[in-house]
Chains A and B, each alone.
Chain A
Amino acid sequence: MTQETRIIENTWDLTAYQWKIESDALDLYVKGLKDKKILGRKCHKCGTVYVPGPTYCRKCFIDIDKVVEVAQEGVLDAFTVNIADVKGNLIEHPYITCTVKLDGTHSFLMGILEGWTDWRSVKEGMRIKVVWKDVTQGALADLSHFQLI
């Protein structure tokens, strides 16, 4: 039988693409990150707080414009333990990606979880806080990770 998988060596230069995606939610969010603040939007009708905050409420289907700064502490919502790199090779030190719910918000933020020694002892509902990069520049990467308190 002939070889079934063909491997074509090449590179894909993503920077060659030029585009701009309008996102009021992310524009507001990264603007806040620059000042080490977490900004979202709150629905004036149902009170749902979104981070990042879209300009509409997905529950009420109405336009919303109330910008709110939210807490930098919250609870661990769900997590997964990554034992391999993106190529599938086992890695020596597993790391945890998680979703967290900051206090007073109703949406989930995704990131890396630090501050644990044995992942078996990590449980949903544990308290976390936001950890910043030393220098912030108004980019998603400004939020370094979430730390167990």
Chain B
Amino acid sequence: MKRNVAIISVGYNGRFVSKRPDINIPELIQPAVDNAIGKTKLKHDQIDAYVVGNMHTFEGINQPHLWASDHFGGSKKPVMRIATGGSTGASVYQAAYYHVASGLYDVVMAIGWEKHDEGDAQVGLMGILLPEAFSMFNFGPDMSEDRGIAGLGGGGSTGGAAFQAMSYLTKAHAGIEHIDRVAAMMRSNAAKNPYAHLQQPGCTEADIAKTPIISYPLRYGHTCPTSCGAIAMILVSEEKAKKFGITDRVAWVKGLGSGASDATTGNIIEGQITDPAEQYMCKVVSKKVYSMAGIKDPRKDIQVAEVYSGFSHQDLMWPERLGLVDEGKSPQMLDNGSFAIDGELPLNPSGGVTSTNAIGASAMVRVGEAALQVMGLAEGGHQVQRKIENVVAHGWGGLFQFVTVTVLGRTPVKK
């Protein structure tokens, strides 16, 4: 690490919702930017550079930075756009971190957004599946409608995630009821987060179990919504933070990293060897990040986790892969209340991705929520009350294989 970097402000555009027909994409982004800047004493022209990102194919609009930059203040300033699927938001934030840590810029804004009502996410996902499907057409696949190639595809990410969920449940000796239970916990956590999309106060396991199966073992209640929303964060160097006099309510970036393993879907034509529930890269990256952050025992030194779970079984899988829980022990932790907001290891106090998913924002929302927890500024009752030293934020994307991990803390790592 060249220089210490702090997140000094996190802003949302407002509550994330499924449709915003009243505004366009720049109008969705701008309130988040103004909100983040408004919480500081900074002015728009004090931002040195911008890193932005969304999952553009989901909105059917390309090169969004070219026409949105005027609205977020990026005109005539360095602007970088990044898209890595589900992990986009975290990749954007990590790039913003490198902008500052490298010494090239002092004050950088990271913006992630998605306006799902502008396009069709499923069409975007098909764009990922099509190259594989098209190459199989050369080799005479079964073209019958359900049992053939279309049926095997499983209808986008839910089909792929169902295999991962089944593999996880078998390894953890858990059942669909555990997925119901964790999904219910996330939806009731979301009710305490004024920015969350699907807020269901007091949601129970039985409420989730009533929803129909989409692709066993995944139900409708286990899947994320498609949300419209934007998040903006301001990252500054340690010197600037001192100069601005803002070192109290900030979140220091103590460690971060990203990695990719074998694509666990989209590799069927060349002998897929990776179990989608293994997520080896998550184990490798998190270990490196903890050592960068000076954390010896993540189970003792990390108080809160914000993980990226597009499907509820992942809320159980990621804490294990991140080294916070023994392999196969998450269902137990869930059952004994350890993952609750007032538990031993609060998991997604924000309600997580299964409650709110504006794709290009989601992985950055994990980092933003981690920052708010460290700062003690999480609104609406989802602030964890016990003393927080370190929070881990996790992002996931690509074809099941990208992973990003970040540790934010109350005090910077000593140089």
Contacts and interface: CB of A to CB of B under 8 A. Distances in A.
Interface of A: 1, 4, 14, 17, 19-21, 23, 25-26, 29-30, 40-41, 48, 50-54, 58-59, 77-86, 91, 95, 97, 99, 106-108, 110-112, 119, 123-125, 137-142
Given A1-B21, A140-B140, A80 B216 contact: yes
Contacts of B141: 139-141
B222 to A, nearest CB: 13
Given A97-B152, A107-B272, A111-B152, A14 B137 contact: yes
B213 interface: yes
B273 A58 contact: yes
B155 A80 contact: no
B135 A21 contact: yes
Given A21-B135, A80-B216, A99-B163, A137 B140 contact: yes
- For A23, A78, A79, A110, the residue with the greatest tally of chain B CB atoms inside 10 Å of its CB is A78
A138 B139 CA distance: 8
A53 B271 contact: yes
Nearest to B159: A80
B162 interface: yes
B269 A139 contact: no
11 contacts: A4-B117, A21-B135, A40-B271, A50-B273, A77-B167, A81-B215, A81-B216, A95-B151, A97-B152, A108-B268, A140-B136
A12 to B, nearest CB: 11
Contacts of B268: 108, 110
Contacts of B147: 95, 112
A124 B166 contact: yes
Contacts of A123: 170
B412 to A, nearest CB: 38
B63 interface: no
Nearest to B141: A140
Contact of B273 (A30, A80, A107): A107
Contacts of A142: 140
Contacts of A78: 163-164, 166-167, 170
Contacts of A119: 216
Given A85-B146, A86-B150, A26 B272 contact: no
Interface string B160-192: 001110110010000000000000000000000
B154 interface: yes
Contacts of B45: none
B105 to A, nearest CB: 36
| The 8 nearest A-B residue pairs measured at CB | A139-B140, A50-B271, A81-B216, A80-B162, A107-B271, A141-B142, A21-B135, A140-B141
A4 B145 contact: no
Nearest to B137: A14
Contacts of A141: 140-143, 148
Nearest to A138: B140
Contact of B272 (A23, A80, A83, A108): A108
B142 A23 contact: no
Contacts of B139: 23, 26, 29-30, 139-140
B262 interface: yes
Nearest to B133: A14
A131 to B, nearest CB: 13
Nearest to B168: A78
A48 to B, nearest CB: 7
A7 B271 CA distance: 38
A124 B170 contact: yes
A4 B21 contact: yes
Contacts of A124: 166-167, 170
A53 B271 CA distance: 6
B273 A48 contact: yes
Nearest to B212: A83
- For A23, A26, A77, A108, the residue with the greatest tally of chain B CB atoms inside 10 Å of its CB is A108
B274 to A, nearest CB: 9
Contacts of B21: 1, 4
Interface in B112-150: 117, 134-143, 145-148, 150
A91 B163 CA distance: 20
A140 B135 CA distance: 12
B168 to A, nearest CB: 9
Interface string B16-35: 00010100000000000000
A22 to B, nearest CB: 9
Interface in B214-239: 214-218
Contacts of B143: 141
A43 B142 CA distance: 30
B140 A52 contact: no
